[in-house]
Amino acid sequence: MAEFAPVQIDHAREFLRKHHWGILATRRKNGNLQMSPVTVGLDARGRAIISSRETAYKVNNLRRDPRAALCAITSSFHGEGWVQINGSARDHFVAGCPRDSGLSPASGLWRAQELAGIS
């Protein structure tokens, strides 16, 4: 069985620059986990970001409870590694794209506040 080995933050950021597939875990009202497949990237400050529709369950879950975990994987899934990011998320909307416009699937971005707690 593989042992847990913490990853250096620079290694995690490099992984996210190359691999954009992931599973985001958020908490529902009742405390149960909800997992969603997402596309992940990095912003200019090196924070993990995803985009989502304003009405998505993951968005509502994160507004209520900002704790999140993201497991980023390679396109082949097996054998090339993965990175897990644990932390808090915050809501950031793209300038010029009002919350209620419904015009852009990227109208809401969720950014991890920091890449601390990477495992």
Radius of gyration of the chain (CA): 14
Q: Is the pTM of this model over 0.75?
A: no
113 vs 31, 55, 65, 75, 78, CA distance in Å? Answer: 22, 21, 14, 26, 29
pLDDT in tens, the chain (119 residues): 555 667 788 888 899 999 999 999 999 999 999 999 998 888 888 888 887 777 788 888 988 998 899 999 998 877 778 888 888 887 665 544 444 444 333 433 343 333 333 33
The neighbour count for residue 5, using CB atoms within 10 Å, is 6
Q: Residue ranges per domain, the chain?
A: 9-112
CATH architecture designation of domain 9-112? Roll (2.30)
Q: How far apart are CA 84 and CA 69, in angstroms?
A: 7
Token output for 114: 């920091």
